[in-house]
Amino acid sequence: MQRVTADQVAERAGVSRSAVSRTFTKDASVSARTAEKVLKAARELGYRPNAIASSLASGSSNIVALITISKPDFRRPYLIHHLNNALQKMGLVPYTICVDENYRGAETLAQIIQMPLNTAIVSADAVNASDIIPFCIHSPPIMLNSNFSQDERVDVVNVDDATGIQQMTSYLHNRNHKTVWLVTARRSSSAFHSRSVGLLEALARSDMKLIDKEEGDFSYESGQEAFDKLSSRGPLPDCLFCANDAMAMGAMDTARFVHGLSVPKDIRIIGFDDVPQASWPSYNLPTIKQSVVDTVDAIMEIIQLRVAKSSDESRITRTVPTSFIARE
């Protein structure tokens, strides 16, 4: 434990404890001379302000909850990781909370979130804004990919899935592809709407036709199963679109190794996300890229806006782009 307190530093520096507190507080009024004395004493004693006490005293909090779903590879890989780093760099304390299928609303979360939060970043469809809002004492929660109608009291970062999907269908159209299979996200997820429904709309605009579809759960295995089921029900289409890369890779492996098909000759399989593996030559998976970096940037921008201006501003929204990567 860091047992050295501000009092000890104050004594050693020959100043009051307030002075110590002030030298460690941004834009507080301390003379350069005092600050120097304090800093010196602090260095000699190895003092570091105790964030817990500070938080309690000031009524603020630098803790940011990252609320995500349990299966890390089901959502965007590395999102949490990059967020973690970015928040830390801002002096905020990221605190990752995973909710799983057992998530039963506010109660569960309240059990886990035992501390006042600066804000929260929510990347879990199942979580309602109202479950989180009470804990965020500085800024409203930031909800990711919540294309559903949402509480007005939250900030939102959305992904413009539609553009990437449009690019993809144009590409397929130009290649003279006519028929499509689809492996969707879970019906309850926001990705179901933005990706699967988005695809249907895009198809409607071209002369391509959806032949059949299956619901997946974003896992590699569900991609495998989906391909099996789809191919047991009818002839091969020109292409298969999966709502994320993991399922696309599962489908591709099953197409190749179980059904002996050649990809993309016999069927073109397309994913969504552009995870690192998508570019590996074993898969060389065409996909719709959504940049984790863009998302993190958007989030950090919102946080900085909330820090700068008073938080009475109304909802802040950001949309990050997508683009189709053909991988010829």
Q: Which residues bind DNA (CB under 7 A)?
A: 3, 5-7, 14-22, 24-25, 28-31, 33-34, 47, 49-50, 53-54, 56-60
Backbone angles phi, psi at 147, to 5 degrees: -80, -10
Q: Which helix (H) or strand (E) holds 235?
A: none
Query: Based on CB atoms, which residue is closest to its own copies, 258 or 326?
Result: 258
CB of 15 to its own copies, least distance (A): 22
Q: Determine the Cα–Cα distance for residues 72 and 70; give it in Å rounded to an integer.
A: 6
CB of 2 to DNA, least distance (A): 8
Q: Footprint of its own copies on this chain (CB under 8 A)? A: 1-2, 46, 48-53, 55-56, 59, 61-62, 70, 72-73, 78, 81, 84-85, 88, 93-98, 100, 110, 112, 114-116, 134-137, 220, 249, 252-253, 256-257, 276-277, 280-283
In the structure encoding, which two tokens stand for residue 121, read together? Answer: 């970043």
Choose the one of DNA, its own copies, none that binds residue 34, judging by a C-beta under 5 to 8 angstroms depending on kind.
DNA
Token code pair at residue 34:
């005092």
Find the shortest distance in angstroms from Cβ 38 to DNA. Answer: 9
- Return the closest-CA partner of residue 152 out of 262, 16, 315, 43: 315
Report the nearest approach of DNA to the CB of residue 149 (Å).
33
Closest CA to 63 of 71, 54, 72: 54
The site partner of 61 among DNA, its own copies, none (C-beta below 5 to 8 Å per kind) is: its own copies
Binds 235, which of its own copies, DNA, none (CB < 5 to 8 A, cut-off by type)? none
- Given DNA, its own copies, none, residue 137, with its beta carbon under 5 to 8 Å by kind, binds its own copies
Q: What is the DSSP letter of 117?
A: B
Rounded to the nearest whole angstrom, what is the least distance from the CB of residue 63 to its own copies in the complex?
9
What is the number of other CB atoms lying within 10 angstroms of the CB of residue 260? 8
Q: Which is nearer to its own copies, 3 or 33 (CB)?
A: 3
- Output the smallest distance, CB 105 to its own copies, in A: 14
Instruction: Give every CB contact of residue 241 below 8 A, 6+ residues apart in sequence.
Output: 168, 180, 181, 182, 183, 199, 270, 272
Find the shortest distance in angstroms from Cβ 162 to its own copies. Answer: 30
Nearer to DNA, 19 or 203 (CB): 19
Angle between helices 79-89 and 292-308 (to 10 degrees): 30
Report the partner that residue 19 touches, choosing among its own copies, DNA, none (CB closer than 5 to 8 A by kind): DNA
Find, among 26, 163, 47, the residue nearest to 91 by Cα. 26
Alpha helices in the chain (DSSP H): 6-13, 17-23, 32-45, 51-58, 79-89, 106-112, 129-132, 161-174, 190-191, 198-205, 220-233, 245-253, 292-308
For the record, the structure tokens of 99 come out as 């909710």
Tokens of 183: 């492996």
Nearer to DNA, 48 or 259 (CB): 48
CA distance 77 to 245: 11
Select the binding partner of residue 33 from DNA, its own copies, none (C-beta < 5 to 8 A, by kind). Answer: DNA
6 binds, among DNA, its own copies, none (CB under 5 to 8 A by kind): DNA
Give the residue with the Cβ less far from DNA, 24 or 74: 24
